[in-house]
Amino acid sequence: MDSFVKHWGAFPRRFPSPCPLLTVGDIRAKNNWVRHTFNTCNFSIILRGRGEYWRKKKLWPVQAPYVITQWPNEPLAYGPPLPEETWDELYLIYDAACMPWFRQCGFIDEHRPAWPINNIEAVMVYVDELRALGGVRSSEMAADRVDRVAERLILESLLPGIQANPDTSDEVIQHVLLQLRSRPHETHDFNQLARRHGISSSTLRRRWHDALKTTPGRYLLDLRIRKARRLLTETSLQVGEIAAESGFQDMLYFSRRFKLETKLTPSQYRKYYRIKPS
Provide the CATH number for the domain formed by 4-132 in this structure: 2.60.120.10
Q: What is the mean pLDDT of the chain?
A: 88
Mean pLDDT by 10 residues, the chain (278 residues): 84 90 94 95 94 93 93 95 88 96 93 89 85 74 89 91 52 84 87 89 90 88 89 85 92 92 88 64
Q: What is the pLDDT of residue 161?
A: 58
CB-based contact 229:257 (threshold 8 Å): no
Q: Which ranges of 159-263 would DSSP assign to H, the alpha helix?
A: 171-182, 190-196, 201-212, 216-234, 239-245, 251-262
Choose among 121, 136, 96: nearest CA to 177: 121
In this predicted model, what pLDDT tens digit does every residue of 234-259 receive, in sequence order? 788 899 999 999 999 999 999 999 99
Q: What is the pLDDT of residue 142?
A: 85
Domain boundaries, the chain: 4-132, 164-278
3-class SS letters over 43-71: EEEEEECEEEEEECCEEEEEECCEEEEEC
In this predicted model, what pLDDT tens digit does every residue of 94-139 receive, in sequence order? 999 999 999 999 999 989 999 998 888 788 888 988 888 887 766 6
Provide the CATH number for the domain formed by 164-278 in this structure: 1.10.10.60
Q: Which ranges of 114-200 would DSSP assign to H, the alpha helix?
A: 120-133, 139-158, 171-182, 190-196
Q: What is the pLDDT of residue 243?
A: 93
Question: What does the angle CA 187 – CA 193 – CA 198 come to, to the nearest 5 degrees?
Answer: 170
Question: What does the angle CA 20 – CA 26 – CA 30 come to, to the nearest 5 degrees?
Answer: 135
Asked, colleague to colleague, whether 4-132 and 164-278 share their fold, the answer is no
pTM: 0.65
